[in-house]
């Protein structure tokens, strides 16, 4: 499957990668799409603290963490703040780097978190 042709942003249930589990265990889909082309996009499963269910998003890997988190936050109706993603080990990703540089992998589960500083 050429994932480059698929729409970016919030995944709809009929999206071919909505329930795809190809990349979960093997990591193959981290680097390649189903046609063995290098991936230029990644599907992220994003949780928000206030919501029960996650949402799935497709982002370009050269998009910054900050831009991707802001787009995801908006879909969860967070209108303000400084959103970032927190990995399962608790690391809050640097908003200024790309998703590729941050090392996210396909179908990684991330939590939206506000990265605003103290006051």
Partner 1 sequence: MTLLPATMTRATVEAELVGARAWAARHNWALHWLPEDLVLRAATYHNPVHRLIEVMGLCDSYRALPPAWRFVSPGTDQSEKRWFPSADPGGLIFHGDGVICAPWNRLAYKEHGGPHDNWNGPASWLQVPADNTVAYTIADMLATIDSHLRKSTGMIA
Task: Say if CB 84 and CB 66 are below 8 A apart.
Answer: yes
- What Cα–Cα distance (Å) separates residue 28 from each residue in 22, 42, 67? 8, 12, 26
Task: Say if CB 22 and CB 28 are below 8 A apart.
Answer: yes
- Which residue stretch of 8-16, 24-32, 36-44, 49-57 sits at the interface with partner 1 (rule: CB under 8 A)? 49-57
Residue with tokens 């909505």: 18
Determine, following the binding rule CB under 8 A, whether residue 45 of this chain makes contact with partner 1: no
Residue with smaller CB distance to partner 1, 38 or 90:
90
- What Cα–Cα distance (Å) separates residue 80 from each residue in 2, 63, 113, 115? 35, 20, 12, 12
The CB-of-89 to partner 1 minimum distance in angstroms stands at 9
- Which residue stretch of 8-16, 24-32, 95-103, 108-116 sits at the interface with partner 1 (rule: CB under 8 A)? 108-116
Q: How many residues belong to the site for partner 1 (CB under 8 A)? A: 21
Determine, following the binding rule CB under 8 A, whether residue 46 of this chain makes contact with partner 1: no
Contact residues: partner 1, CB under 8 A? 47-52, 80-82, 86, 90-92, 111, 113-119
């Amino acid at each position: 499957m050429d994932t480059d042709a698929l729409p970016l942003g919030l995944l709809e249930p009929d999206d071919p990668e909505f329930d795809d589990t190809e990349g979960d265990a093997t990591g193959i889909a981290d680097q390649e799409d189903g046609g063995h082309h290098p991936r230029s996009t990644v599907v992220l499963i994003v949780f928000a603290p206030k919501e029960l269910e996650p949402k799935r998003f497709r982002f370009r890997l050269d998009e910054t963490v900050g831009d991707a988190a802001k787009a995801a936050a908006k879909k969860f109706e967070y209108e303000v703040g400084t959103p970032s993603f927190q990995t399962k080990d608790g690391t809050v990703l640097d908003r200024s780097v790309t998703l590729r540089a941050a090392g996210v992998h396909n179908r990684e589960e991330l939590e939206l978190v506000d990265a605003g500083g103290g006051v």
